[in-house]
């Protein structure tokens, strides 16, 4: 996974979720995923592309649900991939399943 310093998505964990996502100004998008999930592997590169494209404008992160079950449970994430959109720390939208790049970008633009 690319890292935020290079314009890639942030690695979101149970420990840093409050600071990185709930504390973010404006729009944040979090990809809830797992390494064993085939559809997640399809969405992953799209999330990385979008993180680079919207770097500095939208906070984009990836949260491994196996390593960070508390946050997944807190937001009732039962199917993956799930993409949650937050505005100023509050959930404003959710996409469940492997969506194409255009769908994700449409949601970013809708909530930006």
Mean per-residue pLDDT pooled into runs of 10, the chain (112 residues): 70 98 96 98 97 96 98 98 97 98 98 92
Residue 49 included in any domain: yes
* Domains identified in the chain, total number: 1
Angle of CA points 43, 52, 79, to nearest 5°: 25
Residue 43's nearest CA partner among 94, 108, 104, 107 is: 104
Domain enclosing residue 89, as ranges: 4-107
**Cβ atoms of residues 33 and 44 within 8 Å:** yes
**What pLDDT sits at residue 50?**
98
List the Cα angle 32/36/41 in 5-degree steps: 65
pLDDT of residue 2: 47
Catalytic pick among 40, 43, 47, 51: 40
List, edge to edge, every strand of the sheet that includes 90-96: 10-12, 59-64, 27-33, 82-87, 90-96
Residue 86 has a CB neighbour count (10 Å cut-off) of: 20
Note whether residue 43 is domain-resident. Answer: yes
In a domain, 112, yes or no: no
* 39 part of a folded domain: yes
pLDDT, residue 1, reads 46
Judge whether 39 counts as a catalytic residue: no
27 is a catalytic site residue:
no
Q: What is the value of pTM for the model shown?
A: 0.94
- Catalytic position from the list 10, 28, 37, 50: 37
Evaluate whether residue 87 is within a structural domain.
yes
- CATH number of the domain bearing residue 16: 3.40.30.10
């Amino acid at each position: 996974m690319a890292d935020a310093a290079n314009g890639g998505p942030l690695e979101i964990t149970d420990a840093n979720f409050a600071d990185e996502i709930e504390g973010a100004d404006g729009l944040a998008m979090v990809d809830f995923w797992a390494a064993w999930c085939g559809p997640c592997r399809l969405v992953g590169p799209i999330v990385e592309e979008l993180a680079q494209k919207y770097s500095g404008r939208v906070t984009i992160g990836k949260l491994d649900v196996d390593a960070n079950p508390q946050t997944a449970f807190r937001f009732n994430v039962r199917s993956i991939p799930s993409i949650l959109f937050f505005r100023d720390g509050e959930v404003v939208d959710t996409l469940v399943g492997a969506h194409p790049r255009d769908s994700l970008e449409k949601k970013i633009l809708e909530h930006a």
